Structures are given as C-alpha cells and as structure tokens.
Amino acid sequence: MDHVRKTPTPEADAAHADVGGADAPSDPVRTRILRGAAGVFGERGYGATSVEAILEAAHVSRRTFYRTFRSKEDVLRTLFDRSVQRLVRAVREQADPEKSHYEQVVASVEAYLKVHANAGPLARVLLLEQFSPESPLVAQRNRALSTFSKLLTTAAEGAGQKTPDPVLVAAVVAGINQVCVQMATQYPQGDWDIQRAKRAILRILSALEEADTPES
C-alpha cells in the first residue's frame, strides 16, 4: 500500500507553510494564528477548540487575535478556503500537453489526494465539519463544490467529450469528496492509503466517460 508517511515530508512542510496563503509574506501574525489553529483543530476537533486554545498555540494575545480574525469560525473558514486553493492549484499543476488525458487525470487525482493526506488531522476536521449541522462552512463548501464541478466539466470537454450532465458532475464530485471523508476517518493522522483512494476515485470519474457512450 502507498501510504503517506507520518514523518514530515517536503510536501507536508509545504502544505504547512502554505497555511497562510498569500498573506504569509506580509502578515506573519495572521499566518501564526492560522498555523496554531490548524494544530489545535486537528488535535481537539473544531467544537472542542476554544479561542483561548488558539491564542496559546499561536502565542498571541486576545487583542491581537481579534484584530486579525472576527471569531473562531472566521479562522475555520479561512483554513477551509486555503485548503481549497491548494487542492485546485495541485490539480491545475498537472496539466501537461506531453501527457495523455488519462495520465493527466491520474496525476491530478494523486496530487489532490496528497494535499488532503499531507494536511494530517486538520483534513479530517475540515472534511467532516463542512457537513455538520449548522456548519459555518456551508457557503465555502458550496463554492468549492462548484469550482471542482467546473474543473471536471472543463477537463471532459478538453478531452473531446460532450459536456457532461451537471447532475452527473455534481454526483461525481460528491463521490470524490466522500472517498476523502472515508480516508480521513479511517486514517485520522493523515497516513492515507493513496493508491486505494486513487483507484476508488478513478472508478467514480469513469462515470463521466461512460455517460458519453451511446445507450444500447
């Protein structure tokens, strides 16, 4: 099995460093709060994490925290948005005219999974929290699903397939997300079985190609 190791890797270091996103160079305090919150959320879960715990992990004062973020929910939303940005970037970076469409799809799926896996325990929190009752991530979740639906539609059209049914695309995106939820639940520390998850997602994605086949 191809597991992502628990020990630090360059990819994991990069994912951790990217928590601050575009704010990192100009706002080190914001980055420190996000990193501290990511660690505490991953260890305790979102609901059990207090602002005080984030302050302690980030080594900032309450005044500094509230100058930077409105609330604990605001921090969670920012972490979720950063995660989606990394996922989209990882997928788009696999575009390579020298590779076949299938090779690009396989590389994109693996890159997508590794971003999740390298996020460690935080991935489980973000994946599960987006579907919890009264989740503060509803708006971000819907935007993310829309973004990935557009990526899949564009990829299918670029491969010469007809534009897939939006309902089917939404179902495929939901299926892919569920694979990640299962991985995060089964491997909460981030040591995902990448190959197993990749096989599952590739089978889900095959539904888009099968939909282009004339009915018998």
Averaged pLDDT for residues 59-64: 96
DSSP-based three-state secondary structure for 107: helix
Residues in the chain: 216
pLDDT at 7 over 50: no
Task: Kindly give, in sequence order, each residue whose CB lies less than 8 Å from that of residue 88, ignoring residues fewer than 6 positions away.
Answer: 147, 148, 151
State phi, psi for 171 to the nearest 5 degrees: -65, -40
- State the pLDDT confidence band at 159, using cuts at 50, 70 and 90: confident
CATH of 10-210, one of 3.40.50.300, 1.10.1330.10, 3.40.50.1110, 1.10.357.10: 1.10.357.10
Question: Which residue has tokens 């993310």?
Answer: 144
Global pTM? 0.84
So what's the pLDDT on residue 154? 92
So what's the pLDDT on residue 47? 93
Percent of the chain with pLDDT over 70: 85
Mean pLDDT of the chain, nearest integer: 87
> In this structure, are residues 153 and 212 in contact, taking their beta carbons and an 8 Å threshold?
no
CA distances from 117 to 11, 24, 35, 107, 186 (A): 10, 22, 17, 15, 12
Where along the chain do its domains lie?
10-210
